[in-house]
Structures are given as structure tokens and as C-alpha cells.
Structure 1
Amino acid sequence: MPRQKKSDKEKVKEEPKEKVRKKKASKKKDVYTDPIQLLDEYLDEVITAIGISYLNFTREDFKEIIKDPFAAAVGQVKSKPKSRTIINRLNASRDSLMEVVSYNIIRMKDISNLTDDQLEFVVSNVKRGIISLAPRLYEECKRRRKEDLIDILRSNWNMYGILSPFTCPRCGFNAVMPDYSCKVCGSDVSMKEVKKQLNVMQLLKDYASFDVNMFKDIVKSGFFYYKDGVIYPPSSTFQPNDMVFEIVLSKDEKSSLLNTSDISHHG
């Protein structure tokens, strides 16, 4: 006999069951791999592979130091990734990784309590954060008489710091700011020292050879501005964030400049 079609009443009874099944299915949440649990399992292999195991932190410290970059390398995945996959991702952006690690070390530890190896690692890998960290790192390297680390710090400052046209005579960093203080060691640099580095007399005499009127204005006013290797007259204006140095001439310097043969010739 042919199968009888279900009555409309029977269909109505079945519909709620279908809806219940769909609701149960929709309530099921996706389960993702927990990177923190995974880090605990892979930690020894990871710190060895990325080359920081020699820093000899405790296991808990190492976990805290690499927790964020490790989690980023794992990503949001449902299946457990292999350790080699994570390590390859970490090493693919090694410079950034080492920079993050160095910041985390400083965040967690007092610089004075770091071992020599740990201090060297931080000095070598701090880059974009060097403006704020250089003073503390310099003082610690100086305290330990680590001239080699100061050289590394100085090199990183030249690449990532606020590069000044003038060198601090105390620490040797190009970090003299427009207020004549050193951004790294904090010492005050004299106007005399800045003018010596600038070779101000010869600089102004050369300036007179192509703009004698502006030269006379500078000598009469007794000062000029110096920015990006260029002399600017007293009437110049600048943007608030420009690194501009106001160079003030002494009476003897003004007198000597007015009596130069160049000025007499142009007069």
C-alpha cells in the first residue's frame, strides 16, 4: 500500500522538535586554543628557539615576558598549532619581537637588578623607546663601567633618538636640546661649548660672503638661530616642535666679526 501522507496536524507537532534541535545547535560555542595553556607546554622550546634562554629568568618571568607576542603568534585557532609553526611566526618578525621582550623586561624588573647579560640584551634591543629609556640605561651602564654598552646605546640613539646637531661633552651623545640640556645624561651644556662645536666665527664669516646685510643684522642683534645646519636671522619664525637653537654672540665675538676684512670689503 502507498504510504499515507502526514496530516497537517502531525506536521505541526513535529515543527517544535525541529526548532528545539536548531536552538541547541546554535547555542554550541566555538572552542579556541588557549595560548596561555599552550605557552606553559611550549615555553622551554620557544625561549631556546628564539634565543633568549641564556637570560636566565625564572620560568614564570619568561612566561610573562613573551606572553603577548606568543599569543599573537598563536592567533585565534580551534586546533592546536605545532610549536614549530609558532616559533616560525615569532622569528619572522624577530626585531620587533626582541624589542617587545626588552620592554617587558624593563617593565617587570628594576634596571639596577638586571644581570650583565640581561642589561646588554635590553640596551641592544631597545629602539623606538630609547628616548625615554636612554637616561636610565646610560646611568646604569656608566655605574657598571660598561663602555661597550654605552657605545651600543649611543648608536641606537643616533638611529631612534632625538638627534641633535650638538654633542654632549659629558656623555658623548648627540642629545643637546635647544634649552642646552642633555636629554641623556641631564647635564647643562654651555653656550661656549655649542659655539665651539659650531665653529661660530668661521660659520658667520662664511655667511657674510653671500648675504652681508643679513650678517650685519645678526651681529647688530647679537644672536641668530641655528636649525638643521642652517643659519637663520633674528626675525625668523618657526614651528613649535622645531629643534631650533638660539646662538648668542659675546661682545668680543661681535667686535671681531664687525672688523673682519669681509665686512670692510662689503661696506
Structure 2
Amino acid sequence: MAVIVAALWVVTAGGALIGCGDDGGDGGGEQDAGESNTTSTRPEGLRVFYSLATPESVDITLIDNNDDGNTIELQGVTRNVATDYNAIPAGDYRAIFLVSGSQEPLRGGTSVNNITVGDGETWTLVLTEDEGGDPVHQMIQDELTAPGENSARYRFVYRASGPRADLYELPSGALLEQGLALGQLTLYTDVVGGTYDFEVRPEGLNQVIHSIEQVDLKPGEIYTFFIVGNGDPNGDGNSVDSSVDHVQVLDWRVD
């Protein structure tokens, strides 16, 4: 009689993938944390970007909806740090977020259902806050293709609550995107590798609510800039008190 044994995969805070349990082999192995997104092999699967004010870190359980016993545990996922992509079988999943090191659910008992990953697809699960401070999630498909010779590629994912915002590139002052709202993202853009500056401004205004200065975009690398925080945390229409910030994440380095 065949015996089916559930497999448990634990991903540590540093991103190393460690196999646990009896799968008929030697108990699992370890994968270098940066291997999946720093080689010419295009990454596939799912990563998580977590950005709530509290707690500082979370444990995430990713459960296969087919109930075949396959579970991925992402342990110690720190605020504003994207995990590596985790290669998972194509299928439907749900995710449960817990306070790191405990079985305590996040406020509201945060769980994300209806996560679908197809063969060869690459996705980012984002968890940030809405204007009321409640968790909100978004699934973003990452269309990763190698940039041209001597080129870098970037995009912006706007996850800041509050008023809409415009995005500018400096020193040219070019308007890159107008009226970005929570959950919107730009297309990937190719540029010559080098150092760049950007500004986030309230829609239609010259006031700067966040500056992104002297970022190094290296040839052969693809980046996502997550814009997080709140453009008007006091709700008084005054963006001077903005808490908008950014996190630059490497999507893929093509060697």
C-alpha cells in the first residue's frame, strides 16, 4: 500500500529554504537565499512583501487548497523586506499571517484567500495598511524578462494610503505617472544603468512629500520600488505631515 507523507517547507527570515519531514529522501536540504533571483535563471513562484506598522515581523503559513498536506512556512518575515521567490507547485493557495514566534493572529485575523499561481508564473503578495490602519492585500504578477544590454529596469508599486500622487524623475522633471492611488503600479521601464532621483508629490501640486535620492540602478538588474505609508495621516488635507516612504527591492539580477 502506498503511503502519502505530507511535506513541510520552512523558509527562514534570511530566505533559506529548508525541507523538513520524511519525503522518502534525506530529510531535505538548503537553498542559498539569493540564488533564485541573482542568476540568469528566471525566478518563479511567490514572494511576500509585508509592510504593517506592527508587528515588526510575521510568520506566514501558505496552505495548498487542494488539501494534499503541502504547507510552506515563511518564518520571521520582517517589515519592509521582501522574501525571496519560493518555487511552489502551480495551484490555489491561502495564506495566514501570525505575529512572529507565536500563534497570535494579526488584528482582524488576517488571512488571504484565492491565491492562484500558474506554471512558470512569478507573483508578489503584498500586505500593507489602508487609511484606517487595517491590513489590505494585493496580488501582483511580476512579468520578469531580461533588460537590454547595459540597461536596468524598474517599476513603482503605490501602496501608500491617502490622496493620489504624481511621480517625477529628476533632474529632468519628467512626469512619470499621474494620479497614483493605493494599489496602482507602473509598467516596467528600461533605463541606462546609473544613478537616479525621483519625487512623490500630491496630484497636481509641486509640494514634495517624499524624495528618492541617488538610487543606483545597475545594468542587468530589475527593481520594484514599493511606495508605502500615508500621504495624509491626519486626514486634514495637508500633506506636510506625510509619512510616505519607499522600499527598493531587487526582483532579479541577470548574470
Please classify the TM superposition score into its range, dividing by the shorter chain length. Answer: under 0.3
Structure showing the higher strand proportion among its residues = 2
TM-score of the superposed pair, with normalisation by structure 1? 0.23
Q: Looking at CA atoms only, which structure, 1 or 2, has the larger radius of gyration?
A: 1
**Which structure's relative contact order is higher, taking Cα pairs within 8 Å and 6+ residues apart?**
2
Between structures 1 and 2, the one with greater helix share: 1
TM-score (norm 2): 0.23
